[in-house]
Structure 1
């Protein structure tokens, strides 16, 4: 078994401890978590800016590994670092979040692409109307796929508060989309 294969079998906590001194362990963490980080960034800042945000996230994570205390799971901490980088990028360009949602790849159909683009625009507009806390909770649940407990850890909110924010956010999105003539 190669050293790289041994690293791949380790859990995140062990990899974090090793990654402080060993770049191969850090590379395994990046490989393991990069798709979720990129998806969250793309759905928050748009696919055009996501690569820059993801790069900033991994630079920040690499710099901060020495001070990561492990009180939260690595993935929870990573989502918070990603959201902070996204908000920084949005603030820097003074733009509303969710201006674009990643478009699925092929098969390409001009009609379907147009419909998807229209739906993305409506969804982006609807998400932009939500208060930041609701938008963040809904995004972490629906786009990043986190469970309620993980969202509570990432946001620092109580579990009941997270559930309430998601429920209110979904209701507001449903109402906005219905009023805009879209069947949610």
Structure 2
């Protein structure tokens, strides 16, 4: 089976956001603007995923590592899975490496950005995020990974199964068990889930 033909190069870089991921991936092999369009499209989601797993303080470094890895591996990307699935797997691997490299840095101690609008609410939200981060760290890695992909990255169960290599039923079970464990932990911490 032959690879689909490369799309015609858009007359301007402004047309790049209109292309789907598959077309951008094929174009990125010959032009950095297409790669930049992929980064622009996916960096916010990768950052949310990284911040939830390694903390906001380390998320920027993880995102940089992810897109360096993507850039290096793009020519070898075969398209057997969607680009998003491949990207999330790379992001999870980068998060795991970051957690192993700095196991003594708790997620809940990372500084939160300050909001000039409502300092009291910002403090409450930071405290809640810190508790949620601490609760997530109590989960087994497989549950934390599946739950983060579902709740933070917004992937559906089949996509999570593809990213993690687990069976669909296993993914559902991990998410359900993770949610139950989080609910119990948060209730014990005095937070109504």
- On whether the aligned pair clears a TM of 0.5, the verdict is yes
Gaps of 5+ in 1: none
Superposition pairs of residues 2-151 of structure 1, within 5 angstroms: 2-95=11-104, 98-99=107-108, 106=115, 108-151=117-160
Q: Deviations over 1:10-62 (max 9, x none)?
A: 21111111111111111111111111111111111111111111111111100
**CA distance in 1 between partners of 2:110 and 2:183 (Å):** 18
Paired position in structure 2 for 1:175: 184
**Is the 1:90–1:97 Cα contact (8 Å) retained in structure 2?**
no
Gaps of 5+ in 2: 1-9
Scaled by the length of structure 1, the TM-score of the pair is 0.91
Shift of 1:124: 1.6
**CA distance in 1 between partners of 2:25 and 2:35 (Å):** 7
**CA distance in 2 between partners of 1:140 and 1:33 (Å):** 14
Q: Name the CA shift for 1:161/1:96 in 2 (closer, same or farther; >3 Å).
A: farther
Q: Name the CA shift for 1:152/1:131 in 2 (closer, same or farther; >3 Å).
A: same
Shift of 1:71: 0.6
**CA distance in 2 between partners of 1:17 and 1:169 (Å):** 37
Q: How many equivalent residue pairs?
A: 184
Shift of 1:97: 6.8
Runs of 4+ residues over 6 Å off in structure 1? none
Which has the higher mean CA deviation after the structures are superposed, 96-105 or 129-138? 96-105
Paired position in structure 1 for 2:173: 164
**CA distance in 2 between partners of 1:174 and 1:67 (Å):** 42
Scaled by the length of structure 2, the TM-score of the pair is 0.87
Q: Secondary structure at the match of 2:184?
A: helix
**Is the 1:100–1:120 Cα contact (8 Å) retained in structure 2?**
no
